[in-house]
Structure 1
Amino acid sequence: MGETLMRKWLLADFGLEVVELTPVVYGADVAAQVWRAGTATNTYAVKWSGAGTNTGHQVAAFLADSGLPGIPELIRTSEGGLWSVHAKKRLTITPWIDGSRAAESGLTDEQWSAYGVLLRRVHDAEPPVRLRDALPRHSHIDARTPALAEEVRTRLENPEGEVEEELAAVWKQYEHVIADLLTNRPPAPSGPRVVCHGDPHLGNVLVDDGLHLIDWDDVIYAPREQDLMFMLGGMGDVGPTTSAQQDAFLAGYGTHTIDQEAIRYYRHVRALEDVIGWSHQALTGPDELYALEVTKGILSKGLAALAVP
């Protein structure tokens, strides 16, 4: 995506005359591109993405407009919309948050508690019925994972190059784990559903004077264990790494009897998505070596290791 074209879109769609536009590289979403855009008076985060669903941004706008702290507002288009569309991808804008990424800086116990409060407020939110009913009940990533898994398996039958050969060896080593993830899913939970962020690990949290939960592409209407799973182990540096951090989060979150079977289900689903997704990236790029190391970590000590003991 060229800088000149992006500037034209921002002016035409949002009325923003950008004087500075800088690419921002972070996150695992290879379907998205992010920029830091500066005008004469303000700075914005610009995201052009083909991932997720429209309803995620509608939920984020509802929460922000309701005054829920920690949810960045969506800047409206000149016509009052939440996004514009170019090449079948959404272009969205939020105010730039000049803070650190929690995945890099970590959180203090006090901040973990504050994050528990934030996520509980998200789960307790009651969007309009029409919006609630439009929310997906199942992960859009999970729906395409089996086909992606078959693509990876076929490619690894005749690996080419060092990365593919090592990935083939990893898949052989953890063959029983991958087979379990593909064929032995626990029963889906049937408990009450709430608005879930869908991906609330620390890679999607920014820290300045407060905490900000970003990247609302994967919103889902599901039992709250869909989100709580991320706080209960297997996430490495993007989740609580000590019992004190976990306790602080749960204290902030407040009273709720965790459905362990639901946790087991969502851990199993996410472990499969991550193993297959990162394996596919190790084959197709970008950052093949990094994706390979992430895949190995998920299988050896991450979510997959917890999901399939």
Structure 2
Amino acid sequence: MPHRTHPFSTLTPAFIMDAVESQGFACDCRTLALNSYENRVYQVGIEEGEPLVAKFYRPGRWTDEQIVEEHEFCAELAGHELPVVAPWRNAAGHTLFHHGGFRFALYPRQGGRAPEFDNLDNLLVLGRMLGRMHRIGAVTPFAHRPTLDSQSFGRESVALIRDRFIPPDLRESYAAVTGMLLETVDATFAEMGAVRYLRTHGDCHAGNILWRGDAPHFVDFDDARMAPAVQDLWMMLSGDRPRKLAQLDSLLEGYTEFNEFDSRELRLIEPLRALRVLHYSAWLARRWEDPIFPATFPWFNTPRYWNDQIIELREQVAALTEPPLELP
């Protein structure tokens, strides 16, 4: 059973406003919880000013150095006029603040709608933005934030699920399919040889892109990490193979206007997808004591979920054996 008292339960409207006002703002008593699970994010009304977005970080996930490094990456991108929503910086130059045992950051409110990945013109624009972003991201590596690899995303995820969550009657099947999956993932990376890792958004899906006017705005760099460039591209692909090829063509047409792309990385799309599937289940498992997770994801950790998970992983093993996407 989830704990009844979770650290986030202390984030009352009064606490949130006190935290924001500790940075010199005057709140107008309006707070609105925004859609966020890993952290807690609120829109806070400001007297005689535009509302701010206050992001309270999940305790224990990142170090201060890792959070500040994320903030500095966003500021660097914004400094090159990329449409990135960077955190507010106070007069002392700080972007990470502490209040009542929590760490938080403040952001300007950014409106917009989800991007239409089926619109090839939109993908062309997104490709250009990501090409510029990765050109900057490749200049220097992260010093504190992690690297996307099969150990952290794959093996550690599998160990957690196998030891604490998978039903006993499914444990053997789960172990077999995940073992085969990770073996194939590792073999693919090994066959690739040297792959360039750079600073990436890391979680570049539709929920982290807001389309406003004719341009996308990238938000929530909470999962920023060192990864191959294709990590920020593959989540925009969907549909059957011809459709994915058309989407990829538009993305890379825009991307290569500003940055080179190693076409060998297309072989990593399915391995990266496999790691994401494993990591997602482990993410839900690690957060299961947070009351918002059982309430929001009631289907998780049921026999049906684990049966479906094993089927999905078997399908992913099959996908890893198919020819990778290739452009002429």
Task: Please report the TM-score for the alignment, with normalisation by the length of structure 2.
Answer: 0.71
CA shift for structure 1 position 152? 1.4
Aligned mates of 1:4, 1:13 — CA distance in 2: 15
Could you tell me which runs of 5 or more consecutive residues in structure 1 were left unpaired when the two chains were aligned: 160-164
Inter-partner Cα distance in structure 2 for 1:220 and 1:304: 25
Contact 2:53 2:109 in 1 (8 A): yes
Shift of 1:236: 6.7
Q: Deviations over 1:270-306 (max 9, x none)?
A: 52343243256269343131684995785366x6653
Report if the CA contact (8 A) 2:154-2:278 is conserved. no
Instruction: Identify the match of residue 46 of structure 2 among 31, 34, 39.
Output: 39
- Separation in structure 1 between the aligned mates of residue 19 and residue 180 of structure 2, nearest angstrom: 46
Question: Is contact 2:162–2:175 with CA below 8 Å preserved after alignment?
Answer: no
Shift of 1:141: 9.2
Which has more radius of gyration? Answer: 2
Are residue 122 (structure 1) and residue 130 (structure 2) matched?
Answer: no
Q: Which structure 2 segments of 5+ residues have no match?
A: 1-10, 323-328
Paired residue type of 2:50: N
Q: What does residue 77 of structure 1 align with?
A: 90
Secondary structure of residue in 2 paired with 1:216? coil
Instruction: Please give the residue correspondences for 1:256-275 in structure 2 after superposition, counting only pairs within 5 Å.
Output: 256-260=260-264, 262-265=265-268, 267-275=270-278
Q: Superposition RMSD on alpha carbons, in Å?
A: 3.7
Q: How does 1:1-309 map to 2 (within 5 A)?
A: 1-13=11-23, 15-26=25-36, 30-40=37-47, 41-50=49-58, 51=61, 53-54=66-67, 55-68=69-82, 70-77=83-90, 79-86=92-99, 90-102=103-115, 106=117, 108-125=119-136, 132=141, 134=143, 136=145, 138-139=147-148, 143=152, 145-156=154-165, 158=167, 168=170, 172=173, 176-184=176-184, 185=186, 186-187=189-190, 189-209=193-213, 210-231=215-236, 233=237, 242-254=244-256, 256-260=260-264, 262-265=265-268, 267-278=270-281, 281=284, 284=288, 285-286=293-294, 287-289=297-299, 292=305, 295=309, 299=313, 306-307=319-320
String of CA shifts for 1:139-164, please: whole Å, max 9, x gaps.
Answer: 389527534422311234546xxxxx
Helix, strand or coil: the match of 1:8? helix
SS in 2 for 1:25: coil
Q: 1-side partners of 2:19 and 2:277: how far apart? A: 33
The verdict on how the C-alpha distance between 1:100 and 1:305 changes in structure 2, with shifts beyond 3 A counting, is farther
* Deviation per residue, 1:58-109 (Å, 9 max, x gap): 10011112322x211321135321121357754122221221233xx55522
Partners of 1:220 and 1:191 in 2: CA distance: 15
Shift of 1:243: 3.6
Q: How many residues align?
A: 286
Question: Does the 8 Å contact 2:88/2:105 carry over to 1?
Answer: yes
Change beyond 3 A, Cα 1:126–1:246: closer
The answer as to whether partners of 1:99 and 1:207 remain within 8 angstroms in 2 is yes
CA distance in 1, matches of 2:244, 2:273: 21
- Against the structure 1 CA distance between its residues 296 and 208, is the aligned structure 2 distance closer, same or farther, given a 3 Å change threshold? farther
